[in-house]
Amino acid sequence: MADEQSKKSNDDQLAGADAIRERVVETLKTVFDPEIPVNIYDLGLIYEINVNDDNHVHVKMTLTSPACPVAGTLPPEVERKISTAEGVESAGVELVWDPPWDQSKLSEAAKLQLGLT
């Protein structure tokens, strides 16, 4: 019986984490690259979204180029927006450069929007 309750609790946590992750994705879709009229999620700038048991969200993201003029301002903006998503207790954004971003990371919607299909 205790094992069943533990499994249900774990399942509930996973369901909660999935729901938070979905809300974070929706939030990320409201953040736009200032040079390309596409949101950062569809641009493929988000490499990883992790939600831990305490509802802390950790995002690994990149930019289209290390010389991107918003390199200092976009990650903190993303972190602020994520922290406002329902269910998120805290958020952190890690800027990574490996693997480097390229156009293959664009979603189909972004390719259509940019006329690349």
Between the two ends of the chain, the Cα-to-Cα distance in Å is: 55
Instruction: Give the C-alpha separation, 94 to 49, whole Å.
Output: 10
Structure tokens at 18: 């999935």
Give pLDDT, residue 1: 53
Cite the DSSP H helix spans in 1-117.
2-28, 74-83, 108-113
- Which CATH code for domain 2-113? 3.30.300.130
Give pLDDT, residue 11: 43
Domain boundaries, given as residue ranges, for the chain: 2-113
Query: pLDDT means per 10 residues in the chain (117 residues)?
Result: 48 72 97 90 97 96 91 95 96 96 94 89
- β-pairing, 90-95 with 56-61? parallel
Give pLDDT, residue 35: 83
Give pLDDT, residue 10: 46
Cite the DSSP H helix spans in 56-107.
74-83
Structure tokens at 72: 């200092």
Instruction: Give the C-alpha separation, 44 to 63, whole Å.
Output: 9
